[in-house]
């Protein structure tokens, strides 16, 4: 969704994901449809050297907009997780975001222009049993990005933390199949609304219904709010909250 919006605006792209076949397909469609140059990098962004690999692939390019939109999550009781899964989640949701923001943000600050969009989540605003590590890493993205917004706003660099709620992305629908109706936001609306906020403030909560939900949760006691989230996770994920990888 973000790649489509950027290409439509005339920006050339470097796309990074795991699956080369889907990267190739997206690159061809975006280049043909919008007349922009598209490069691809197939990489496992949970790997320890992922940031180095991305930076090397962008050597010699002026990256004017950085969008950190990759993530790793697995619902389940935290103590059922393997430590390898813990390390992956921290690597991609925390370390990669910090390293890429640091590298490309420095170049943007030096040029006096640029934009960084770090995709967090509404889960970063809540305490969620059976999603403990994920919501904690997303809270990191939110706080880190909002602080970076202030540090760079006087240097011509726009920084934005995007906090989607349930969004009809490929990954989310694969984990949560079914007929969502109006209970989920489209990728297109999420991208459009968040990009409209770029340069206007430190955060975007792109689904209007999220604001009412967040206000309701914050009106509860801490115990009530955590219990509400925990029961909600059980309803959505069912047996999946019994194990993690």
pLDDT in tens, the chain (245 residues): 999 999 999 999 999 999 999 999 999 999 999 999 999 999 999 999 999 999 999 999 999 999 999 999 988 999 999 999 999 999 999 999 999 999 999 999 999 999 999 999 999 999 999 999 999 999 999 999 999 999 999 999 999 999 998 876 877 767 666 666 777 788 899 999 999 999 999 999 999 989 999 999 999 999 999 999 999 888 877 766 754 44
134 labelled catalytic: yes
Beta carbons within 10 angstroms of residue 189's beta carbon: 15
Annotated catalytic residue: which of 72, 130, 134, 172? 134
DSSP state of 65: E
Query: Which residues are bridge partners to 66 per DSSP?
Result: 116
- The answer to whether the pTM exceeds 0.95 is no
**What gap in Å lies between CA 30 and CA 79, rounded to an integer?**
43
């Amino acid at each position: 969704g973000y790649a489509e919006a950027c290409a439509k605006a005339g920006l050339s792209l470097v796309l990074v994901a795991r699956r080369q076949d889907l990267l190739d397909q997206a690159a061809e469609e975006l280049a043909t449809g919008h007349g922009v140059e598209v490069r691809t990098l197939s990489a496992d962004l949970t790997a320890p050297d992922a940031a180095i690999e991305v930076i090397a692939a962008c050597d010699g390019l002026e990256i004017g907009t950085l969008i950190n939109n990759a993530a790793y999550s697995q619902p389940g009781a935290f103590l059922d997780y393997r430590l390898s899964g813990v390390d992956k989640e921290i690597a991609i949701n925390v370390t990669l975001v910090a390293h890429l923001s640091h590298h490309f943000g420095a170049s943007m600050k030096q040029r006096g222009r640029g934009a960084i969009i770090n995709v967090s989540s509404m889960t970063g605003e809540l305490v969620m049993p059976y999603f403990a590590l994920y919501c904690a890493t997303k809270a990191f993205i939110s706080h880190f990005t909002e602080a970076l917004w202030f540090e760079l706003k006087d240097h011509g660099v726009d920084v934005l933390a995007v906090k989607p709620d349930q969004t009809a992305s490929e990954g989310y629908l694969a984990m949560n199949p079914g007929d969502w109706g109006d209970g989920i936001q489209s990728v297109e609306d999420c991208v459009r609304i968040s990009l409209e906020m770029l340069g206007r403030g430190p955060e975007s909560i792109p689904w209007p219904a999220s604001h009412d939900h967040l206000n309701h949760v914050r009106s509860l006691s801490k115990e009530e709010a955590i219990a509400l989230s925990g029961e909600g996770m059980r309803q959505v994920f069912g047996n999946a909250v019994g194990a993690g990888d």
